[in-house]
C-alpha cells in the first residue's frame, strides 16, 4: 500500500504518524509544498491520446505512481528559491501555489482514500456552512450573527443581555516589535467595544450568544470511529477560550465516552461535509445538552494523548489511515510516549528547531 502524507517534517503530527506507520510495516512518503519549487521539481502532462500523467521529485522521493491513501494533513505555502529575484517572489508564490493545488488534485487512483479530499476540506472550512450542517444532523448551535454591521451587533448584544462572544473565521497572529505576539481568540465582547464603531465596520466577525458551560468536549472523527476527550475548562471559574487561558501542560482533559447518539451525530456531520476526518468542538451546557461550536478538518489530535495517555490517539489514527487493526506487538509499540523516545522524534525536533529563530521556542504542537 502506497501512503502519502502531505505536510512538513517540522509538523509533529506528520512525524509521529510517519513513525507509527513505519512500525506497522508501511513506508509512507512525506511531501511538503514548502519544498516547491526551491527543493523539488514536478510535472503534469495531458494530451488527447493519453491520460493525465504526473511526477514529483525531491531530495527524498521520485515517483509518478498514484497513491492508495492520501492524508491531506496541511498544505503549506510554496517557498521561492533563494537565487530568484525578490521582485519575482510574489509571482513565483502565486504560480507555485496554483500549480501545487492542481498537482494535489491529481494524486490518487479512482479508489484512493483521501483524508480529507482537498476541495472538500476547503469547503468544510466555511464556519456558516458548518453551523447549518450541524443543525441538519440534529445538533443545537449557539445563536449566531455574522456581520460587519455595527448596529446589528449592538442590537444582538442588547438582546443577549450583554453576553456575547466574538470569534474569527480563521486563526491570526500579530507579531510585536519585541518578538512577542498576540493571537486572535474567542473572547467576550465588552460594553466599551461599542465606543469604537469602526472596529466592527472595518472587519466582519462571528458573534454568538455566550453559552454557560458545564464542560467541553473534543470529538475526533476517524471514519466511523470517534475518539473523545472531556475538558473540564470551568473548574476554576468561567473561561471563554481555554486554549489560551490554560497552560499547555495543565489542560484538565480526560478520556470520555460520548453518548452513542452524539457520537453517531458527529460521524454524520463529517459525512455531510464530505470529511473522513474532523476535530469537533462541543459544549455541554447546564441542561446536559451538547452544543456544536465548530469542526476543523485538519485539527490537532495528538494533544489528547499527551494530556491523557489512556487516549491512544496515535495508534487509532495509524489504524484508521492504513485501514487495518494493528497486531498485538504493534499495539504495544505505538504510543505518543514511545514516539517521544524515538530517533524520529529527535529528527522532528531538529527540523522544528531549524524553523525557529530561538531554539527555546520549539514546542511539540500536538
Q: What are the CA-CA distances from residue 57 to residues 29, 35, 42, 315 (Å)? A: 11, 10, 6, 30
Q: What is the average pLDDT score of the chain?
A: 90
Domain chopping of the chain, boundaries: 3-122, 143-209, 213-361
Fold of 213-361: D-amino Acid Aminotransferase; Chain A, domain 1 (3.30.470)
pTM: 0.90
Q: Does position 237 have pLDDT exceeding 80, yes or no?
A: no
With pLDDT > 90 as the criterion, what percentage of the chain qualifies? Answer: 69
Q: How many whole angstroms separate alpha carbon 293 and alpha carbon 140?
A: 9
pLDDT at 109 over 90: no
pLDDT tens figures, 171-191: 888 787 777 777 788 889 999
d(CA 287, CA 275): 30
Asked if CATH classification 3.30.1490 holds for the domain at 143-209, the reply, yes or no, is: yes
CB 259 within 8 A of CB 284: no
pLDDT tens digits for 296-319?
A: 999 999 999 999 999 999 999 999
Q: Note the pLDDT of residue 245.
A: 63
Question: Cα separation of 126 and 272, whole Å?
Answer: 13
Mean pLDDT for 262-281 is: 98
Mean of pLDDT values over 104-113: 84
pLDDT score recorded for residue 361: 41
Higher pLDDT: 343 or 241? It is 343
What is the pLDDT, as a whole number, of residue 247? 63
CA 150 remoteness from chain centre: 31
Question: Is the confidence at residue 167, as pLDDT, over 50?
Answer: yes
pLDDT of 19 over the 90 cut: yes
Cell numbers placing 274: 464530505
Query: Is pLDDT of 158 > 90?
Result: yes
Amino acid at each position: 500500500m502506497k501512503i502519502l502524507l502531505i505536510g512538513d517534517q517540522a509538523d509533529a503530527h506528520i512525524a509521529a504518524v510517519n513513525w507509527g506507520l513505519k512500525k506497522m510495516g508501511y513506508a509512507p512518503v512525506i511531501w511538503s509544498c514548502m519544498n516547491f519549487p526551491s527543493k523539488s521539481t514536478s510535472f503534469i502532462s495531458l494530451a488527447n491520446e493519453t491520460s493525465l500523467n504526473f511526477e514529483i521529485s525531491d531530495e527524498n522521493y521520485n515517483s509518478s505512481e498514484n497513491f492508495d491513501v492520501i492524508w491531506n494533513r496541511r498544505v503549506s505555502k510554496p517557498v521561492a528559491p533563494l537565487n530568484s529575484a525578490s521582485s519575482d517572489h510574489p509571482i513565483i508564490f502565486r504560480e507555485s501555489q496554483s500549480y501545487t493545488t492542481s498537482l494535489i488534485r491529481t494524486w490518487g487512483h479512482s479508489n484512493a482514500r483521501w483524508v480529507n479530499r482537498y476541495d472538500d476540506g476547503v469547503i468544510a472550512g466555511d464556519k456558516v456552512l458548518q453551523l447549518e450542517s450541524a443543525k441538519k444532523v440534529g445538533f443545537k448551535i449557539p445563536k449566531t450573527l455574522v456581520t460587519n454591521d455595527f448596529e446589528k451587533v449592538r442590537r444582538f448584544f442588547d438582546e443577549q443581555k450583554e453576553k456575547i462572544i466574538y470569534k474569527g473565521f480563521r486563526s491570526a497572529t500579530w507579531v510585536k516589535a519585541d518578538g512577542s505576539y498576540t493571537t486572535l481568540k474567542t473572547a467576550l465582547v465588552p460594553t466599551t467595544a461599542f465606543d469604537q464603531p469602526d472596529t466592527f465596520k472595518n472587519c466582519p466577525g462571528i458573534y454568538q450568544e455566550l453559552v454557560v458551560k458545564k464542560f467541553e468536549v473534543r470529538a475526533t472523527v476517524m471514519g466511523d470511529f470517534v475518539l473523545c476527550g472531556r475538558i473540564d475548562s470551568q473548574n476554576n471559574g468561567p473561561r471563554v477560550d481555554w486554549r489560551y487561558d490554560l497552560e499547555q501542560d495543565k489542560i484538565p482533559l480526560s478520556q470520555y465516552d460520548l453518548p452513542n447518539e452524539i457520537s453517531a451525530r458527529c460521524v454524520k456531520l463529517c459525512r455531510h461535509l464530505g470529511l473522513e476526518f474532523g476535530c469537533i468542538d462541543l459544549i455541554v451546557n447546564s441542561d446536559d445538552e451538547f452544543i456544536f461550536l465548530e469542526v476543523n478538518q485538519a485539527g490537532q489530535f495528538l494533544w489528547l494523548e499527551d494530556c491523557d495517555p489512556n487516549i491512544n490517539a496515535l495508534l487509532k489514527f495509524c489504524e484508521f489511515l492504513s485501514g487495518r487493526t494493528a497486531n498485538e506487538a504493534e499495539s504495544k509499540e505505538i504510543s505518543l510516549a514511545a514516539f517521544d523516545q524515538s530517533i524520529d522524534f529527535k529528527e522532528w525536533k531538529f527540523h522544528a528547531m531549524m524553523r525557529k529563530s530561538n531554539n527555546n521556542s520549539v514546542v511539540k504542537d500536538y
